[in-house]
């Protein structure tokens, strides 16, 4: 068996289910699978086989499935990875048979080990191939640079209150220093002392230069170009957000903020942002093409939210657009909506469908596969469904042709006729067997002794 895919890890977001969660890659032992749960607060926990989950599909080429003992809640995530033990358990005996399958399984295990190691390498901190420093040296430099930049931000922020005339410059300097700290973390590069050249707006926004300084205006530009992290409060429907380091005193079109929710929303929601010490007032939060939030769009405490301010929303009054509303698909309509059929953006649940058909109880429901209403004297169809044509053979004798063929000829025909003449019923021909494409039937009197025509004939086909 070969290992044709490089996939050795798969992730799932919580929805209140225990699974099963598909394992989309091959594994040879249950113990080779590592399941890691991440909480809504970002805390990772390695789960224990049997105690926290069970596995099926060991050795199957298409993979298997993992079922949790406790449900994966909304806001949590599950990472399933293949981490085989680094061992070699195949022992070849001299002059004995050389089984190809045993050898190939050993090669497969080596490939799985390599893929597991590569997945870990891809998540590690690395230096450029030409660098002379070690990863540990790089981490030490990053820590020192971040501490220095954070100290500069704090000092600049403190100086903002010294005089009203210098408040804007000091606040912008604080943002520039904080942005520099973020830039150091994002671009693991070796720093150069003696920053004397101004970066300019382009390099400030890109955050790619470590040898230039930012002006206050450039600091504002960088703050608008990347999400500003804030601390949220309030409720799920009336959120407050404090952006203490933002070099702004008013909301600007395109401003991007990011924060962790404190609770789930129960309906339409607002965001009241404080920029430094300036409160901007509550603004409506929208999603998609500008519709108000619905219950559950913010799933709960700890959910990371991305919002962009748009001055065109709310008829030009401005509002926040939620970029990542939580969704499990279209919501289920209410019972009243299911009965009235007034919504085309909701699902109907199986129970609502059964109630709408007035069919209580566990017995299955079978729908009609065709129907027709016609004049028995002329053979003219008045209305129909899945009936392409109707031929009148003689008095009370007809052949109907399906628009879409039936799976076989084992279907049932039921019907009545009457209106301006004596009533009767409809039955299939006893001499011509029904087929997948057509059926011959009779209209007879109410005791079934004679064929007859009627002004109105109604028939239904079930399968």
pLDDT band at 184 (very low <50, low <70, confident <90, very high): very low
* Residues sharing a CB contact under 8 Å with residue 304, sequence separation 6 or more, in sequence order: 258, 259, 260, 261, 324
pLDDT at 92: 82
**Taking the CB of residue 426, how many other CB atoms lie within 10 A of it?**
21
169 has a pLDDT exceeding 50: no
Question: Tell me: the pLDDT tens digits for 191-205?
Answer: 333 334 455 555 554
The more confident residue out of 269 and 147 is 269
Q: Cβ distance 37 to 47 under 8 Å? A: yes
Query: What pLDDT was estimated at residue 213?
Result: 52
Q: For residue 211, name the pLDDT band (cuts at 50, 70, 90).
A: low
Which residues sit opposite 370 in a β-bridge?
461
pLDDT digits over 306-328, tens only? 999 999 999 999 999 999 988 66
Mean pLDDT of all residues in 91-115: 84
CA 204 to chain centre: 34
CA-CA distance, 369 to 159, in Å (whole number)? 80
Cis bond leading into 20, ω under 30°? Answer: yes
- Which pLDDT score is estimated for 401? 97
* Bridge partner residues of 231 (DSSP): 242
Mean pLDDT along residues 31-60:
94
**Do residues 278 and 286 make contact, with C-beta atoms less than 8 angstroms apart?**
no
Does an H or E element contain 319, and which?
strand 319-322
Of 33, 4, 37, the residue nearest 116 (C-alpha): 33
Mean pLDDT estimate for the chain: 82
Higher pLDDT, 148 or 284: 284
Length of the chain: 463
Amino acid 185: pLDDT: 43
Residue 1 has pLDDT above 80, yes or no: no
Q: pLDDT tens across 386-444, in order?
A: 999 999 999 999 999 999 999 999 999 999 998 655 789 999 999 999 999 999 999 99
The closest of 461, 295, 290, 279 to 388, measured between CA atoms, is 461
> For residue 276, which of 303, 310, 250 has the smallest C-alpha distance?
250
pLDDT score, position 103: 83
Q: State percent of the chain over pLDDT 90.
A: 47
What single-letter DSSP state applies at residue 425?
E
**372-390 residue pLDDT tens:** 999 999 999 999 999 999 9
pLDDT of residue 346: 73
Task: With a cut of 90, say whether residue 266 has pLDDT above it.
Answer: yes
- Burial category of 87 from C-beta neighbours within 10 Å (exposed 0-12, middle 13-18, buried 19 and up): exposed
CB 435 within 8 A of CB 426: no
Residue 227 is given by DSSP the state P
Percentage of the residues of the chain whose pLDDT score is greater than 70: 81
In sequence order, the β-bridge partners of residue 258 are: 229, 306
- The whole-number pLDDT of residue 217 equals 56
Give the start-end residues of each E strand in 360-406.
368-374, 381-385, 387-394, 397-402
pLDDT at 130 exceeding the cut of 80:
yes
Beta bridge partners of 347: 332
User: Is the model's pLDDT at 162 over the cut of 60?
Assistant: no
Indicate if the pLDDT at residue 207 is higher than 80.
no
Q: Which residues of 70-84 are buried (b: 16+ CB within 10 A; e: fewer)?
A: eebebbbbbebbbbb
66 closest CA partner among 53, 79, 50: 53
**Residue 360 pLDDT more than 60?**
yes
**pLDDT attached to residue 245:** 53
Q: Which residue's structure tokens are 């279209």? A: 330
Tell me the two tokens of residue 235: 């409720």
Distance of CA 296 to the CA centre of its chain: 14
Asked if residues 287 and 313 have their Cβ atoms less than 8 Å apart, the reply is no
Residue 331 has pLDDT above 90, yes or no: no
Q: What is the pLDDT of residue 419?
A: 65
The residue with greater pLDDT, 359 or 321, is 321
- CA 58 to chain centroid: 28
Q: Give strand pairing partners of 257.
A: 228, 307
Domain ranges of the chain: 9-122, 135-225, 228-322, 330-365, 368-462
220 vs 42, which has greater pLDDT?
A: 42
**pLDDT value at 241 more than 60:** yes
Torsions phi, psi of 24, nearest 5?
Answer: -90, 15
Spatial distance between the Cα atoms of 296 and 328, rounded to a whole number of angstroms: 10
Q: Looking at per-residue confidence, does 79 or 144 come out higher?
A: 79
Place of tokens 């390599």: 114
CA torsion, ordered 255, 261, 262, 267, to nearest 10 deg: 90
Can you tell me the mean pLDDT for 326-333?
A: 70
């Amino acid at each position: 068996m070969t290992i044709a895919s490089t996939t050795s890890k798969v992730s799932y977001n919580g929805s209140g289910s225990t699974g099963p969660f598909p394992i989309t890659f091959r594994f040879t032992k249950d113990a080779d699978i590592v399941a890691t749960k991440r909480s809504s607060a970002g805390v990772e926990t390695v789960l224990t086989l049997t105690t926290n989950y069970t596995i099926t599909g060991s050795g199957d080429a298409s993979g298997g499935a993992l079922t949790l003992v406790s449900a994966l809640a909304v806001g949590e995530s599950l990472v399933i990875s293949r981490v085989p033990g680094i061992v070699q358990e195949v022992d070849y005996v001299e002059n004995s048979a050389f089984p190809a399958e045993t050898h190939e399984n050993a090669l497969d295990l080596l490939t799985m080990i390599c893929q597991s190691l590569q997945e870990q390498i891809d998540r590690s901190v690395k230096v450029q191939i030409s660098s002379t420093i070690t990863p540990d040296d790089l981490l030490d430099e990053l820590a020192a640079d971040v501490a220095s930049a954070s100290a500069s931000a704090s000092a600049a922020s403190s100086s903002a209150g010294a005089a009203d005339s210098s408040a804007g410059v000091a606040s912008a300097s604080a943002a520039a220093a904080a942005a520099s700290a973020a830039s150091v973390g994002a671009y693991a590069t070796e720093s150069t002392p003696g920053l004397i050249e101004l970066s300019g707006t382009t390099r400030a926004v890109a955050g790619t230069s470590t040898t230039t300084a930012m002006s206050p205006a450039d600091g504002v530009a960088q703050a608008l170009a990347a999400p500003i992290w804030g601390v949220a409060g309030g409720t799920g429907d009336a959120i407050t957000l404090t952006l203490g380091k933002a070099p702004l005193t008013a909301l600007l079109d395109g401003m991007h903020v990011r924060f962790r929710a404190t609770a789930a929303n129960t309906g339409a929601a607002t965001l009241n942002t404080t920029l430094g010490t300036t409160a901007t007032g509550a603004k409506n939060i929208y999603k998609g093409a500008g519709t108000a939030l619905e219950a559950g769009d913010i799933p709960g405490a700890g959910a990371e939210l991305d919002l962009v301010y748009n001055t065109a929303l709310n008829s030009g009054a401005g509002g926040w657009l939620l970029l990542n509303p939580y969704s499990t698909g279209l919501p289920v309509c209410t019972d009243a909506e299911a009965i009235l059929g007034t919504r085309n953006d909701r699902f109907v649940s199986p129970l609502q469908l059964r109630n709408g058909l007035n069919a209580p109880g566990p017995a299955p429901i079978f729908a009609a596969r065709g129907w027709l209403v016609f004049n028995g004297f002329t053979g003219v169809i008045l209305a129909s469904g899945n009936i392409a044509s109707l031929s009148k053979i003689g008095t009370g004798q007809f052949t109907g042709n399906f628009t879409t063929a039936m799976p076989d000829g084992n279907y049932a025909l039921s019907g009545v006729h009457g209106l301006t003449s004596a009533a009767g019923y409809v039955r299939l021909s006893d001499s011509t067997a029904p087929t997948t494409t057509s059926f011959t039937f009779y209209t007879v009197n109410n005791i079934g002794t004679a064929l007859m025509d009627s002004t109105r004939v109604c028939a239904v086909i079930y399968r």
